[in-house]
Structure 1
Amino acid sequence: MAASQSRHSTKGRGTGINPVPRYRIQRHEPVDDGWWRGDEPAPQTCVLPDPARRVISYNRSPDVPFDRSINPYRGCEHGCIYCFARPSHAYLDLSPGLDFETRLFAKIGAADCLEAELRAPGYRCAPLVLGANTDCYQPIEKQYRITRELLERLAEFRHPVSILTKSSLILRDRDILRELARDNLVNVMVSVTTLDTDLKRRLEPRTPSGERRLATVTALHEAGIPTGVLLAPVIPHINDAEIETIVARAAAAGARSVASVLLRLPHELSALFRDWLGTHYPDRAQRVMNTLQACRGGKDNDSRFGRRMTGEGPYAQLISQRLTLARRRHGLLHRRFHRLNTAAFVCPRRHGDQLNLI
């Protein structure tokens, strides 16, 4: 069924609304009295510097296969309506809605901060992830090249890194990735949410097509870079019918593994996603939310460890079984990242450093 349009639909953006961030005390409500009839200008992307003293973030979550990550950017121009990172914009007193897609922050000098942290006497090497929160290869990376600089520094230190992205811009850095792959220091997960071009345009408007992402998997595979596919998020009655097709196409493209995550709707994201459903899929909006709530203990979101990525109940079990059978049929693994080499880590000597006695 063709998607319907509403005043909440902004061309080229995941959402056209800007709900008040949860920490803001003062609130205002827009009122349309029918007087204004002009078209509002398209929202433009604004990038501001985000100076940071530290760039490595640590976590103790048992649900993710890593304990440290780096996010070169805050906010993401890809505009994916389902992005679980949207609520983090509230910490900046900005809206998780349109602000998240248009008010971006770039961590200028991130590579120098990373080097200082890696050289710290107490640092212990373990694989870190680029792009765990927002995409490290979103469009502004073409100009700012922060991810490229981070990879160059990680290569100097022979530090293992995993990358999560849905952008073909990663192919620009094949030279570094190929070098890291020779010593088992890198792997990549490419997010493939749908192969339906129309759905992609509404769901994640400023991202490459599903076909282009599969071509990216093939190019990385042919370059000798271990690559998998992340089918995320699985959205009930929106993209769940594509599971077997995506797994088969991922295998044909050269992916080593396929993993998945059930849709998560923390904080303000719940209202944003409900608005998106009402705009584009009013015929099935309630069915989508009913099925999701059945997986989340009757709520829109369940943040409990062990449940937040997979959900629970009959529908969640069915998705898990379908993925298991599809992976088995094509000889794929289920894990997101394979074990990387930490023994190669070394702090390169700088000019003026004291020589080792031994």
Structure 2
Amino acid sequence: MKLGISSYGAYVPQYRIKVDEIAKVWGDNADDYKNGLMVTEKSVPDVDEDAATIAVEAARNAMARGADAKKIGAIYVGSESHPYAVKPTATIVAAAIGAPSRMTAADFEFACKAGTAAVQAGMGVVAAGIAETALAIGSDVSQGAPGDALEYTAAAGGAAFVISKNDLIAVINDTCSFTTDTPDFWRREGADYPRHGGRFTGEPGYFKHVTSAAKMLLEKTKTKPTDYTYAVFHQPNGKFPTKAAQMLGFTKEQIKPGLTCPKMGNTYSGASMVGLAATLDIAKPGDRIFVTSFGSGAGSDSFDITVTERINEVRDLAPKVWDYINNAKYIDYATYAKHKGKINIDG
């Protein structure tokens, strides 16, 4: 039974702030972040944009590429910045795109891999026959405390994928996950900003989980990096996915199309999904794509995907990821702080 992606869409806010502008405010050396993190600027939500509106825009772009909202039987939205603590983002998306009421919907949370967890859940309900199609979304307006290293990368954006058995633009050949209890990053209930355990962030967090899940899938599918045209790894910055690719035997050319973080920052739950969308924007029929997400806490999901002929029919029906990235409007730190609600005017 073939199961996979029948449509996709992404959305990135227009506003940007350069790393230099943030460093100037805090007296930091911008080059330390640009060279160390391989990020030069990041996307910023407008004052009326949040994870829900971004999810809606991504979903609408997925509908524009030929998906029928009336056939959707499940909507799952992964995010770590859902606008409501108690009220689903998924139902907002359903209403906005005109999905039927005879459906199931839920919000997912697993740090930066909540979106790919939503994809796997969507695969499950479609495979089981519970839903004809499922809509899986990763969307975030990422948080970073003023002056914290996270502020240089925490960005806004998201992507949506329609999971189905029919009219596939890409077949999901296989998937697997690797998960442990690793306290590398967290945000308590009621806290405005997350905290991170620096010594857990790299090796025991990101690299252990990404490489473990990736190796599991390579072994499971009996494939090697050279069997894939492209690869996408979770991108909290530009450095980590580049290093992970090298560790696993993938080349810079394979990850280049989906490496969006250097020009738009880390969209948390949307990061690997935006990378996949950007790769589908240029992929050809028969191309094989390797994807591995990462979520702090910690876990990774890996996917083996093959692009079909139908990609050529739908690709140009909605804006591409790099169309959004290149359509940038730059702002200063004061405007950024206003957009992000970092200034409390209520006292």
TM-score normalized with structure 2 length = 0.28
Q: Which has the higher contact order (CA 8 A, sep 6+)?
A: 2
Higher helix fraction: Structure 1 or Structure 2?
2
Query: Larger Rg: 1 or 2?
Result: 1
Higher strand fraction: Structure 1 or Structure 2?
2
